Amino acid sequence: MTTVASTRAPELVLPGSATALLEEYAPPTDRFLATPHRTLLGHGTIAELPHRSGPLSPRVRALLDARRSAGDPDPVVMGALPFDPGAAPALAVPQSVRWAPPLREDPLIALAVPAADTRWSVREVPEPEVYGAAVAAAVERMKAGEFDKVVLARTLELTARETPDLPAMLRRLARRDPAGYTFAVPSAPGRTLIGASPELLVSRCGSTLTANPLAGSAPRSADLAEDVRRAAALLESAKDLHEHAVVVDAVRAALAPFCRTIDVPVRPTLVRTAAMWHLSTTVTGELADPGRTTALDLASALHPTPAVCGTPTGLARQVIAESEPFDRGAYTGMVGWQNADGDGEWVVTIRCAEAEGRLLRLFAGAGVVAESSPEAETAETGAKFRTFLNAVGAAL
């Protein structure tokens, strides 16, 4: 009989317990996720969610119920879901799951990790000029009234001479932003999704839900005075505040039907990562029927938000398909966990890459509205690439 650890925090917390899980991560079968509330490491696979048509959440619930009936006291599903809801999920119940407190509370997370020494060749897909032209074309269509917003992405294809060291890459990402959401999970046969996202899509704990949409960004500066100026300017930017409000309104509309009460702050605050400032709103709510509403039910109702797709959703998806010369895969999908009681955390998969052999494909996107400029959005994606480029020791 397989034993799966409880989701409850351990009574005795030892320094280094969270970083120990980080150090033990081993691809390609392990699944690692660190959030501001906990650190998880799943070993092996005891059951996978098959790819079928129809709603995803009931199938996940059935899989977890079956594992509980088979003797697992607290089974957990972990993994990633793609941007395209019709594409194959990468969700599984690990053979075992170990839990620890958050990385940010572990004093050992401050220890330095040796710099990456991998040599990379870099190819931009599409080239910045082509990406800028796509942004300009979208802006013209928005000014003509066709749609309100679209999120356009580009990629960097990094090729190494040898297979890159993914565990070392994950450790550098985690230490760069220990208060964020760091993950490494299998995303497809032979592929690993790895990243450090700043954005919680939604979590459920008992009857309480929390969502934290981010929209509107500015790059950080190494100069303290300039960094503060950029943060203050972002809080007053009409373009970014409008972009953020569109996302928050969509989150409220998607979650309200599940809630007895919902609280949405009037103005956003700021969230910072090592590379970016983001406008942030923390939405909380009390579920009307927590016995029937799981974390994945909520995540599925939200996905994709205007922060990763655009508005209206259908037309924004069409523009993305016409403008991006690649398949997003798990990028701007979600990664996370859920237990058999319906509690869980689902994170927006941004600031991420997909590793396959010697190839590492990085993704970054920018929200394009009628006031956008090709130069600004290209620069924003370049700034967002920095999170991963610093972790792998590459430069753009």
| Active-site residue list | 149, 199
Asked whether the beta carbons of 17 and 67 are under 8 A apart, the reply is no
In the three-class reduction of DSSP (H, G, I as helix; E, B as strand; rest coil), residue 74 is classed as coil
Peptide bond into 50 cis (omega under 30): no
Peptide bond into 304 cis (omega under 30): yes
DSSP for 187-252 reads EETTEEEEEEE--EEEEEETTEEEE--EEEEEE--SSHHHHHHHHHHHHH-HHHHHHHHHHHHHHH
Distance CA 8, CA 6 (A): 5
What tokens does 298 get?
A: 């909520």
CA 30 to chain centre: 18
Asked whether the beta carbons of 201 and 356 are under 8 A apart, the reply is no
Residue carrying structure tokens 């956003």? 268
DSSP 29: T
In the three-class reduction of DSSP (H, G, I as helix; E, B as strand; rest coil), residue 117 is classed as coil
Which H or E run contains 143?
A: helix 128-143
Residue carrying structure tokens 């074309």? 137
Distance CA 131, CA 37 (A): 37
Distance CA 152, CA 295 (A): 27
- The backbone region for 310, taken as left when phi is positive above 0, alpha when psi lies in -120 to 50, beta otherwise, is left
The order of strands in the sheet holding 214-219 is 214-219, 276-280, 269-272
Q: List C-alpha distances in Å: 80 to 26, 31, 118, 253.
A: 17, 10, 27, 24
Residue type, 335: V
